[in-house]
Amino acid sequence: MRRRRAAAACGGGVRRRRARLPAVSTPPPPQPRFTTRVRVRYAETDAAGVVYYGVYLTYFEVARVELLRALGLPIAEVERRGVLLPVVEARVRYLRPARLDDLLAVSVALDEVGPASFSFDYEVARDDGLLLATGWTRLAVCERGSGRAVPMPGWLRDLFRRWQALPGGGGEGAAAGPGGAAAAPGGAA
């Protein structure tokens, strides 16, 4: 009897659907980042001492190659295993100029892994932390002999999984994330 009275007081005993709140999405956790340092050389600048725009793609390559080396898989070993990783798409957004003799921190984070390709995000900052450029590249997985796209080998997919599982950190030659402490590849500091 009490339940009926309570129900009547709250809406006449009619069952009402609960209001649904819109789903709140939380951003995914930041991807681990690997950072390496590059000094701007004279040959990379124009007459005004500003880094030529195409050089940023070279800086991205330096970060990718050093990441693979830090993870225990130098690019020469990738090729010995019969795989090439050509860049098939690239973007750069220039925010501020880098200049002759600037010390740059070039960081890379895995963006996406597909069946036969993967992509990276990049940031280029001056040593004082000023962000100069951002970028993105997609690399294909190709058979060395034929140059044709092939499915990503398990060993490469596993390498990316291990990198993603490293604790966050920051610093040169480390998988860097939001925490600020360096984590060496393989978990050892």
Q: Report, as an integer, the average pLDDT of 20-24.
A: 63
Instruction: Tell me what pLDDT residue 101 has.
Output: 96
Is the predicted pLDDT of residue 12 greater than 60, yes or no?
no
Q: Let me know: does 170 contact 107? Beta carbons within 8 Å.
A: no
Question: Could you report the per-residue pLDDT of 103-148, keeping only the tens digit for each?
Answer: 999 999 999 999 999 999 999 999 999 999 999 999 999 999 999 9
Is the predicted pLDDT of residue 182 greater than 70, yes or no?
no
The band of 169, judged by pLDDT with boundaries at 50, 70 and 90, is very low
State the Cα angle at 183 between 26 and 174, rounded to 5°.
95
Domain annotation for the chain: domains and CATH numbers: 30-165 (3.10.129.10)
Instruction: Tell me what pLDDT residue 31 has.
Output: 75
**What is the pTM assigned to this prediction?**
0.75
Instruction: Tell me what pLDDT residue 170 has.
Output: 38
